């Protein structure tokens, strides 16, 4: 992981207009992704992680509005680029996406190889023969046998389709690949092989990866750095090891308690009481406040600023100074459920 950021996002906001009001799906999100690293974004449903990435890639629906202080890719502002240039120069060629439920993203009436060839030809000046050779290469990289290029999606298993989507994302050698829930819905053994394959691919190509998932175990295994999102905001971000050894934010502490591990069968599982917040209308205070056992009056009124604790470790919590104490308290059931 070198010290030059390949992607820099500063203060990104996304709002949706709906019948019930305005939803603040993403608020004040800032983060960096460095070259040749895996950056994980963890969070539960509704936390804004998918919306965030769709905003950066301009794949938001019509009723969404996005604004950001700046979005830089390789030091270039992509935020203010025109639609045309963005589509031609950035999307797929520089930043590509393996979308959620990618397994269902393949067109069922075309052969899989053809679909990737088409995608390549649409973005480059490569001829059909070159493109097909490239697809063969890619299939090899993702671990699919080349004869499957001529098969249809329904002849592929779930894991194979996922690999095909990863191949498509790699096609144009992008600097950044975003994977949105890449293994959700796949069986354990299939998931394991795909994750292992992704790790191997990393050694071959030098792209960075943003990995979005709600599965804490997957993100722990795969990521170099992790950001934890809740209620549209980033609660904490740090290097993986730091996040697991010395977490500071109460939500992170809660998640650790709630996630069962196969290695620690004696762990006392403690859930976080309450439910995710409604993001409709004006948001005051910290989004986690209602469920936080350590919240104070201030947490209801003001939104905590981002505090840098160490290099790469940032927290948004008023009580970050008491982190060591909070960690101790969070281990007890009585703290969360009284």
Partner 1 sequence: MALLELKNVSRHFEVKSGLIDRLIYGKPIRMIKAVQNVNLIVNEKEVLGIAGESGCGKSTTCMMISGLVKPSSGEIIYQGKRIDQFDSDEKRFYHSQVQMIFQDPYETLNPRFRVIDTVAEGPRALRLWPEDEIVSRVDDILNAVGLPPLKYAERYPHELSGGERQRVGIASALVMEPQMLIADEPLSMLDVSIRAGILVLLKKLALERNFSCIYVSHDLSILGHIADRLMIMYLGQAVEVGPTRDVIQNPKHPYTKALISAVPVPDPRSRRAVPNIIGDISRPIDPPPGCRFTPRCPYSDDTCSQTFLKLDMNQHDKHLTACHRQDALDS
Query: Interface residues with partner 1 (CB under 8 A)?
Result: 44-45, 157, 159-160, 187-192, 195-196, 214-218, 220-221, 223, 240-241, 244, 254-263, 265, 267, 269-273, 275-276
Q: How does strand 95-98 pair with strand 38-42?
A: unpaired
CB of 206 vs partner 1, minimal distance in Å: 22
By beta-carbon proximity to partner 1, the closer residue of 86 and 148 is: 148
CB of 214 vs partner 1, minimal distance in Å: 6
Separation CA 125–CA 65 (nearest Å): 34
By beta-carbon proximity to partner 1, the closer residue of 153 and 175 is: 153
CB of 258 vs partner 1, minimal distance in Å: 4
By beta-carbon proximity to partner 1, the closer residue of 276 and 285 is: 276
CB of 313 vs partner 1, minimal distance in Å: 14
By beta-carbon proximity to partner 1, the closer residue of 208 and 223 is: 223
Which of 172, 162, 35 is CA-nearest to residue 92?
172
Which of 189, 168, 206, 236 is CA-nearest to residue 74?
206
Q: Which tokens sit at 56?
A: 């950066």
* Sole residue written with tokens 């999606």: 153
Which of 228, 286, 277 is CA-nearest to residue 49?
228
By beta-carbon proximity to partner 1, the closer residue of 134 and 225 is: 225
**Cβ neighbours of 297 (radius 10 Å):** 9
Which of 99, 108, 100 is CA-nearest to residue 151?
108
CB of 243 vs partner 1, minimal distance in Å: 8
Separation CA 61–CA 266 (nearest Å): 45
């Amino acid at each position: 992981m070198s010290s030059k950021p390949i992607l820099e996002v500063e203060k990104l906001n996304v709002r949706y207009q709906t019948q019930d009001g305005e939803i603040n799906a993403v608020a004040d999100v800032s983060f960096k992704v460095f070259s040749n690293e895996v950056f994980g974004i963890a969070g539960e449903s509704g936390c804004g992680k998918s919306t965030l990435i769709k905003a950066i890639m301009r794949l938001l629906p019509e009723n969404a509005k996005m604004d950001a202080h700046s979005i830089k890719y390789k030091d270039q502002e992509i935020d203010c680029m025109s639609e045309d240039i963005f589509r031609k120069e950035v999307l797929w060629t520089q930043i590509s996406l393996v979308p959620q439920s990618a397994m269902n993203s393949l067109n069922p009436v075309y052969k899989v190889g053809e679909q990737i060839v088409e995608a390549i030809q649409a973005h480059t000046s490569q001829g059909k023969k070159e493109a097909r050779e490239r697809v063969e290469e890619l299939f090899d990289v993702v671990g699919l046998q080349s004869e499957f290029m001529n098969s249809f999606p329904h002849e592929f298993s779930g894991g194979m389709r996922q690999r095909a989507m990863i191949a498509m994302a790699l096609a144009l050698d992008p600097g950044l690949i975003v994977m949105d829930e890449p293994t959700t819905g796949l069986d354990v053994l299939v998931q394991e092989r795909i994750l292992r394959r992704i790790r191997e691919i990393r050694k071959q190509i030098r792209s960075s990866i943003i990995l979005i998932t709600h599965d804490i175990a997957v993100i722990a295994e795969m990521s170099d750095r992790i950001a934890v999102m809740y209620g549209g905001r980033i609660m904490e971000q740090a290097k993986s090891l730091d996040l697991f050894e010395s977490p500071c934010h109460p939500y992170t502490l809660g998640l650790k308690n709630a996630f069962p591990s196969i290695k620690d069968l004696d762990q006392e599982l403690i859930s976080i009481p309450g439910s995710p917040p409604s993001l409709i209308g004006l948001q005051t205070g910290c989004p986690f406040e209602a469920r936080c056992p350590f919240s104070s009056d201030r947490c209801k009124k003001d939104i905590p600023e981002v505090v840098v604790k160490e290099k790469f470790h940032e927290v948004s919590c008023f009580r970050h100074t008491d982190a060591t104490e909070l960690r101790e308290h969070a281990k007890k059931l009585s703290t969360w459920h009284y």
